[in-house]
């Protein structure tokens, strides 16, 4: 599990131990260490999901979080986000924690989300459902090669993105929090 070794900066985010490029946030905008310890109990009909978001570009990560929002569907609530900026941080996080949905930026560098998706699908037992953000609509065939469960092209459509996350959140197995 990722733990803070230095003070967490709300805007710049948590860089993880030895700067691994990780930022954990709750939906209130607070980082994981600032969030209240007891969350209010959710309605039985609302499925709470945790999401891992990978992109080397903070503006893409912010745009995705804004587009998905807290409630991508009336029966789905995103309770936590783990933002990763490096491939190593994603592999470590998926290896040590459970997520309901993974969102990977296909345009990230040096390791794109499509290659990372294929790696995770082939190496992680019961890999969570994965959404890949492609650079253009024509890259759908690459996303199919990557074994992604859903694809949303740039420019990001907030409705399509929220719908894809909600669909994957329902389809995914419950996360062990």
Q: pLDDT at position 20, please?
A: 52
- d(CA 16, CA 67) in angstroms, rounded, equals 25
In the chain, count of helices (H) and strands (E)? 5, 6
pLDDT of 36 over the 50 cut: no
More confident residue, 77 or 177: 77
| Averaged pLDDT for residues 94-118 | 96
pTM: 0.76
DSSP class of residue 43?
P
Query: What structural domains and CATH numbers belong to the chain?
Result: 22-32+46-171 (3.40.50.2300)
Residues ≥6 apart with Cβ < 8 Å to 95: 124
Residues 52-69 pLDDT 10s: 999 999 999 999 999 999
């Amino acid at each position: 599990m990722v733990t803070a070794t230095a003070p967490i900066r709300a805007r710049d985010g948590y860089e993880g131990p030895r700067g691994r490029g990780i930022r954990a946030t709750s939906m209130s905008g607070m980082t994981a260490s600032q969030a209240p310890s007891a969350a209010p109990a959710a309605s039985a009909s609302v499925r709470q999901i945790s999401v891992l978001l990978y992109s080397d570009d903070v503006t893409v990560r912010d745009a995705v979080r804004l587009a998905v929002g807290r409630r991508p569907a009336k029966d789905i609530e995103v309770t936590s986000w783990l933002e990763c900026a490096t491939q190593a941080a994603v592999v470590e996080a998926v290896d040590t924690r459970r997520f309901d949905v993974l969102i990977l930026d296909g345009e990230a560098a040096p390791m794109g989300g499509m290659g990372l998706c294929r790696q995770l699908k082939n190496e992680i037992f019961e890999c969570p459902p994965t959404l890949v953000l492609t650079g253009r609509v024509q890259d759908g065939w690459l996303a199919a090669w990557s074994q992604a469960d859903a694809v949303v092209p740039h420019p990001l459509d907030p409705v399509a993105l929220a719908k894809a996350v909600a669909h994957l959140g329902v389809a995914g197995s419950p996360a062990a929090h």
